[in-house]
Amino acid sequence: MTLLSRLLALFPALMVLLTLGAVLYLCSHPGIPALGLLLGVIYGLPVLLHRLHQWRYPVKEGISYLRGTDYSPWWGSHQLQVIYIAFPALETVLRLIPGAFSAWLRLWGAKVGQQVYWTPRLEIADRGLLEIGDRVVVGHGVGLYSHAIKPKRENLLLYVKVIKIGSDVFIGGGSRLAPGSELADGSYLPADSDLYPNREISPEILETSEISEILEMTDEKLPPLETAIAPTLDTL
């Protein structure tokens, strides 16, 4: 781990200290300036540093390794965002204000269309690695993860790829999208769906899978014809 990696690993703790300091200042000096300072620390500082970091060390798609002498831009980007993962209420407030959360994601570098509905509870691991179209509904408890990590040969393999969601898409509650997931325009993702890396979903694929599920349910769960009509015959 490089020196910059170690320094950025301290950023979440620094954010906690700065926030506590801003809260104490607001209590001792109530007013608009103190409130602005608190909001600036919570919502302004991480975004500003992330944009500077992205300009100097842009996060790139593909495979890399976290251990070694090379600095991982994703690691730095993650440390600047981890405060919102640890304290999700900070972003839940934004999702209660129409349009605020979409604008918030755009500040991080995401591409978000119009009329996107975000339910209050969800998890986004990489705010700048999203491309979302118009009129999208993101259900309760959805997870969007544009990175995946696994151990490999005494190292940690990192895979990063943008998640792309088209227009007029409905993502059912509890679904989880892995890096490289793509949902075409008009797609409907059922609740509790798990998309593995680089999985592409289109309305045609979903219709075919739903028909298959219906056929399987018909074969497995419906009683034989004789059993089904027997009670009716007995009552005649």
54-63, 84-93, 207-216: the lowest-pLDDT one: 207-216
Helix-strand-coil split of the chain, %, nearest 5: 45, 20, 35
- The whole-model pTM stands at 0.83
**pLDDT for position 204:** 67
Residue 24 lies in a domain: yes
pLDDT at 8 over 90: yes
Predicted confidence band at 217 (pLDDT cuts at 50, 70, 90)? Answer: very low
Residue 230 lies in a domain: no
Predicted confidence band at 188 (pLDDT cuts at 50, 70, 90)? Answer: very high
Instruction: Look at residue 176 and give its three-state secondary structure.
Output: strand
The residue count of the chain comes to: 236
The boundaries of the domain holding residue 177 are 3-206
Domain count, the chain: 1
Q: Say how far apart CA 123 and CA 81 lie, in whole Å.
A: 12
Q: Residues 116, 94: contact at Cβ < 8 Å?
A: no
Per-residue pLDDT averaged across 113-131, rounded? 96
CATH number for position 47 = 2.160.10
